[in-house]
């Protein structure tokens, strides 16, 4: 594996602020409604999942990258769209395969080790209690930076 400096792997430093989030089922982000499609589309900033970095050398086009957070959210929507549009016995697309693999890898890279209580520990109805409060990095900073990046990028075009 090649040696890589950590500062080459991150676009911005971790959020300095924390926010509370209630982890629970919600009436939002259903699978197959027009409202759900709109809600999922709003999970990405104006520029979509891409950010544009200035090249090291003058007179070159900006380099396009994606932030892991936005890539993950985009993948969730890709899986959602294929799930609701999939015909019986059809084969998942290569994009869905990529997304499932990518989400698995990124979850394994940054696992949430919180213990969740289990309502029915065995059988086909084994479920966790799906309501708890979590303290999270403030993702709003990432969105603000992405919006600013997109404004700068479009102003240069």
Per-residue model confidence as pLDDT tens digits over 17-75: 899 999 888 889 999 999 999 999 999 999 999 999 887 666 678 889 999 999 999 99
Based on the number of CB atoms within 10 Å of its own CB, is 18 exposed (0-12), middle (13-18) or buried (19 or more)?
exposed
CB 124 within 8 A of CB 23: no
Give the mean pLDDT of the chain.
85
Q: Could you tell me if residue 124 is inside a domain?
A: yes
Q: Could you tell me if residue 72 is inside a domain?
A: yes
Helices assigned H by DSSP within 1-139: 34-41, 68-85, 94-109
CB 92 within 8 A of CB 86: yes
Supply the pTM of this predicted model: 0.82
pLDDT of 129 strictly over 70? no
pLDDT of 138 strictly over 80? yes
Q: Could you tell me if residue 1 is inside a domain?
A: no
pLDDT, residue 3, reads 46
Tally of domains in the chain: 1
Q: Which domain holds residue 29?
A: 6-156
Q: Could you tell me if residue 14 is inside a domain?
A: yes
């Amino acid at each position: 594996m090649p040696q890589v400096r950590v500062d080459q792997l991150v676009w911005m430093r971790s959020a300095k602020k924390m926010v509370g989030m209630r982890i629970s089922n919600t009436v939002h982000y259903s699978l197959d409604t027009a409202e759900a499609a709109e809600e999922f589309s709003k999970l990405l900033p104006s520029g979509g999942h891409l950010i544009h970095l200035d090249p090291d050398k003058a007179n070159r086009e900006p380099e396009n990258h994606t932030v892991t957070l936005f890539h993950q959210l985009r993948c969730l929507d890709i899986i959602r769209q294929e799930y609701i549009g999939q015909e019986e016995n059809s084969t998942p697309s290569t994009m869905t395969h990529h997304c499932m693999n990518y989400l698995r890898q990124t979850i394994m890279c940054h696992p949430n080790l919180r213990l969740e209580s289990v309502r029915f520990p065995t059988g086909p109805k084994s479920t966790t209690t799906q309501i708890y409060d979590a303290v999270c990095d403030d993702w709003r900073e990432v969105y603000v930076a992405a919006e600013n990046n997109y404004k700068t990028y479009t102003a240069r075009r």
